[in-house]
Amino acid sequence: MATLDVDALIERFRERAHAVKERNLPPVAGEERKRLIEQAELDYLDFSLIGAARWEVEDDELVLRIPLHPRG
């Protein structure tokens, strides 16, 4: 069984967010294009939220703290 490397997990989510942001759309139009754009926006949001998380273990549970405002 693999061990849990939370830092690596969070980094994979950062990489996925970046990949979604850089991904080119296939040559589609109309409703299909609109659905692909909407899905990419949701994917980016999901991946970037986890990618921005800090973590800790509390009472034997992994706790991700996700900032609701951009850091900077």
Question: Can you give the residue ranges of every domain in the chain?
Answer: 6-65
Rounded to two decimals, what is the model's pTM? Answer: 0.82
- Phi, psi (rounded to 5 degrees) for 52: -95, 0
C-beta of residue 52 within 8 angstroms of C-beta of residue 39:
no
Q: What is the pLDDT of residues 10-67, one digit of tens each?
A: 999 999 999 999 998 888 899 999 999 999 999 999 999 999 999 999 999 999 999 9
Question: What's the pLDDT band for 71 if we cut at 50, 70, 90?
Answer: low
